[in-house]
Amino acid sequence: MANVAVVGMQWGDEGKGKIIDLLCPAFDAVVRFQGGNNAGHTVKFGSGEGDEHFALHLIPSGILHEGVACYLGNGMVINPDAFLAEVAQLERRGIETAGRLRLSDRAHALTPVHVALDIVREEARGADRIGTTAKGIGPAYESKIGRTGIRLAELVAGGEAMRNRQIVRVADFERPAAEGAELDPEAAAEDFTRWAERLSPYLCDLSVELDGLIRNGRTVLFEGAQGALLDVDHGTYPYVTSSNSTTGGAATGSGVPPTAIDGAIGVVKAYTTRVGEGPMPTELVDDVGLHLRDRGHEFGTTTGRPRRCGWLDLVVLRHASRVNGARCLALTKIDVLDELEELRVCVAYRIGGEVVRNLPAVTDRLEAAEPIYRTFPGWKQDTRGVLDRSDLPQAALDYIDFLEQELEASADLISSGPRREETVVSGGGALGEWLGDRFGTVQAAVGG
């Protein structure tokens, strides 16, 4: 049984929430290792009419599985009020978090100043705006990297260390003020005191904790948020988020060595979406794009913004696959393509007369990229709820086979609808190898 990272292979919103939910029972612990409350997945309570839905933005959905320990890693930036509100939501529905949910004491606090800065900066950028989620993520990471941030451990410890930090922070406060962000040092001091008290029971030394678990043969799932193309190093910079959302981030963002991570499952949506600004070579601004948006319910969980939709892009996916080391794929939303006459897959770009197979580092080149497509016939058949790979239409199998060959990975999970049961699970590839005798828990989760 292995420790595995589950990561997004596009611009986020690939459907990682469902895949992680399916895999959770096979693991002892789930760790989120980057980002903050810019991410989001909807969870559902109850069945049938009167279902209650709400979104979790910070806490892994593993919290809904009894017996799975959930951790928020040092690579994350934590908005304490958002965290406490999620805990309260869960507890109102009878989900006890005490003892099962821990925060790394080295994670950084995301404060109202960061949120205010995010908003004024976006306004100031005008046409060059990034289209952030306005949650303060970029400024919170700036504080961390600029060495003026506040670790949760310091927040809770108070005393001299915290006072010294506060002094630095006061200087740091002048910067947002100069930029026109609203701030109130007195309110901040009150916030710090309240957070210190409320967060204290959740803190742990995550590196020590995970080391203990792994030495004792327990298994860990590392939950990525966003996607490879939003990674601050490997994504479409500057139109990215401010953390490492690829597999490498799982090690630095949780305090385990890279050698402790045995493999990565790359989650790939059967087409491409992107929310926010920035280049997206296969974007469709026609009826097909609208069809994908409608049929795929492509609206952001955190901001409600409509997502830009387009064809699958192998330049993007080869890049993501290489950086993540994704030997296993989870292909999602295949059913959204059911009604299309034909499908296209971008195999390379043409940029200024040159054929390019690898993702360019310069945004302007990517903006200028013209996709070179390979066309596949549509299957025009309902695949919703298919459970067995052999029951998929031949045209869908051809599309999936092509993807697997190009990415040198097996699609061991194929999602054919939003529900847990609507999934094709295959045990012959890397997933079966990694899960070993716990593979049965995934089959049980889909009702197989």
Residue 233 annotated in active site? no
Our CB check for ligand IMP shows the closer of 194 and 297 to be: 297
- Closest Cα to residue 261, out of 45, 56, 31? 31
Our CB check for ligand IMP shows the closer of 87 and 230 to be: 230
d(CA 39, CA 59): 10
Q: Which of 131, 325, 393, 418 binds ligand IMP (CB under 6 A)?
A: 131
**Interacting span for ligand IMP (CB under 6 A) from 7-15, 79-87, 100-108, 376-384:** 7-15
- Footprint of ligand IMP on 23-52 (CB under 6 A): 38-39
Residue 13 annotated in active site? yes
In the complex, the smallest distance separating the C-beta of residue 416 from ligand IMP, rounded to whole angstroms, is 22
Our CB check for ligand IMP shows the closer of 131 and 440 to be: 131
- Footprint of ligand IMP on 194-253 (CB under 6 A): 225-226, 230, 239, 241-242
In the complex, the smallest distance separating the C-beta of residue 111 from ligand IMP, rounded to whole angstroms, is 15
Written as one string, the DSSP assignment of 416-430 is: -SSSTTSEEE-SSSH
d(CA 210, CA 106): 14
Which x/- pattern over 133-172 shows residues binding ligand IMP (rule: CB under 6 A)?
x-x-xx----------------------------------
**Element of type H or E holding 147:** none
Q: Which of 31, 63, 130, 315 binds ligand IMP (CB under 6 A)?
A: 130
Residue 245 CA from chain centroid, whole number: 7
Enumerate residues 6+ apart whose C-beta is below 8 A from 278: 130, 131, 236, 239, 240, 363
**226, two tokens:** 């966003």
Residue nearest to ligand IMP (CB): 276
Applying CB under 6 A, does 58 fall inside the site for ligand IMP?
no
Per-residue buried b or exposed e for 172-199, using 16+ beta carbons within 10 Å of the residue's own CB: bbebbeeeebebeeeebeebbeebbeeb
Q: Tokens 């049965």 sit at which residue?
A: 440
Burial environment of residue 268 by CB neighbours within 10 A (0 to 12, 13 to 18, 19 or more):
buried
Q: Which residues bind ligand IMP (CB under 6 A)?
A: 11-13, 38-39, 130-133, 135, 137-138, 225-226, 230, 239, 241-242, 275-276
Q: Which residues are catalytic?
A: 13, 41
